[in-house]
Amino acid sequence: MAALPDLETAGAVRRDLRAAPFLVAARGGTPSRVPVWFMRQAGRSLPEYRALRAGTGMIQACLDPELTCEITLQPVRRHGVDAAILFSDIVVPLYLSGIGVDIVAGVGPVVARPVRTAADVEALPTLHPEQVTPVTDAIRLLTRALGETPLIGFAGAPFTLASYLVEGGPSRNHEKTKALMRSAPAVWHALLAKLADSTSVFLRAQIAAGVDAVQLFDSWAGALTERDYRSFVAPHSAAVLGPLAAAGVPRIHFGVGTGELLGAMSEITDVIGVDWRVPLDEAVRRTGGTHPVQGNLDPAVLFADAASVESEVRRIAAEGRAAPGHVFNLGHGVLPETDPDVVTRVVDLVHTLPVR
């Protein structure tokens, strides 16, 4: 592994936000109000984002510190959420390491040369800390601009990165990925170890630059059985998340459709993100009652009438009180057609609700 930023000294640049509701809840304490942010809060649902992004490619936007900073700030300004999340994309560390990948509008990430053999894995570059500069520059701008609002670092988990690399792009069924996993386990584990290495470098650089928490997204993990997740995936996600404990920033782990995996995922993280299909009190039971939870309003509920939105928000906040800490969020990302005013009203409502 490349030389890593020292996690302990990174604390020197980090803001002292110990009373921030998001950080208190993520550490299992009792915050001054129920904190709320939304996955994909920065991005497609905001007209000011669409205006800013016009003419700029997705990866280009993620590597322009001023633009990344502004896009990350937009939902904080508009909605008054309790955390910002670094605007980025799952494939950014792959791109920065020199892998040929582009994000094609309407398709998603497209990989120039899919990775399917031992030689392909051997040839795969890994990320070096100095390659992360465009992202760490954005983080330094953000920690100055955000005032008292915490900033969450962002990375995709090794399995989800591997699916893009093996399939060559987005896949509904991940059949090539799952075939490689079973048919060539040595190649598979070598691939995931390399991706875990790059992901570690990416998140450590973000922590060293001053993020206050990190979220590891395993977008596609829900396609796996718990048995396969534990055998083929969890050790590599743990290799990313485990050593980050030394940094003292909350680690959040999330994947959609992971009801069967909540126990296994919770073993390697601090805060467990929960998809909307599993009520938060049930998620608390599945994770042993020891983990703060994050979630889990169905993003589609934001398209319903105001009374339905309110009753669902109240239900989720009530179920979240079963956890040692609850960070209100959606159960997946904000959908592109969402009315931003509805999102703002959810924030306002959550902030009126009792913490305990």
User: CB of residue 91 vs a second copy: minimum separation in angstroms?
Assistant: 20
User: CB of residue 182 vs a second copy: minimum separation in angstroms?
Assistant: 4
The secondary structure of 36-105 as a DSSP string is B--TT-SSTT-HHHHHHHTT--HHHHHT-HHHHHHHHHHHHHHH--S-EE----TTHHHHHHT--EEEET
Q: Which one of residues 14, 174, 253, 326 is an interface residue with a second copy (CB under 8 A)?
A: 174
Q: Which one of residues 205, 301, 346, 355 is an interface residue with a second copy (CB under 8 A)?
A: 301
* Run of H or E including 155: strand 151-156
User: Nearest-CA neighbor of 39 among 217, 225, 248?
Assistant: 217
Q: Between 270 and 319, whose beta carbon lies closer to a second copy?
A: 319
- 40: annotated active-site residue: yes
Q: Which one of residues 173, 186, 354, 356 is an interface residue with a second copy (CB under 8 A)?
A: 173
Name the one range near a second copy by CB under 8 A: 33-41, 91-99, 116-124, 168-176: 168-176
| Residue 113, marked binder | no
| Residue 89, marked binder | yes
DSSP state of 231: I
Site string for a second copy, 210-249 (x = CB under 8 A): ------------x-xx-x----------------------
Asked if 305 and 10 count as a contact pair (C-beta separation under 8 A), the reply is no
What is the β-pairing status of strands 101-104 and 108-111? antiparallel
- 89: annotated active-site residue: yes
105 binds a second copy (CB under 8 A): no
Q: Between 28 and 222, whose beta carbon lies closer to a second copy?
A: 222
278 binds a second copy (CB under 8 A): yes
| Residue 42, marked binder | yes
- 18: annotated active-site residue: no
Q: What distance in Å separates the CA atoms of residue 210 and residue 26, rounded to the nearest whole number?
A: 17
Give the Cβ contact number of residue 7 at 10 Å: 17
259 binds a second copy (CB under 8 A): yes
Name the one range near a second copy by CB under 8 A: 154-162, 287-295, 297-305, 345-353: 297-305
183 binds a second copy (CB under 8 A): yes
For 248, the 3-state DSSP assignment is coil
* Run of H or E including 216: strand 213-217
Name the one range near a second copy by CB under 8 A: 93-101, 264-272, 275-283, 343-351: 275-283
- 286: annotated active-site residue: no
Tokens of 224: 């796996």
43 binds a second copy (CB under 8 A): no
User: Nearest-CA neighbor of 279 among 228, 321, 218?
Assistant: 321
What is the β-pairing status of strands 326-330 and 101-104? unpaired
Q: Between 13 and 300, whose beta carbon lies closer to a second copy?
A: 300
Q: Which one of residues 178, 204, 291, 326 is an interface residue with a second copy (CB under 8 A)?
A: 178
Q: Which residues pair with 273 in a beta bridge?
A: 294
Tokens of 316: 């989720």
| Residue 40, marked binder | yes
| Residue 131, marked binder | no
- 49: annotated active-site residue: no
Q: What distance in Å separates the CA atoms of residue 68 and residue 132, rounded to the nearest whole number?
A: 13
Binding stretches for a second copy (CB under 8 A): 173-179, 181-183, 222, 224-225, 227, 257, 259-260, 276-279, 298-301, 303-305, 308, 335, 337
Catalytic positions, written as ranges: 40, 44, 53, 89, 164
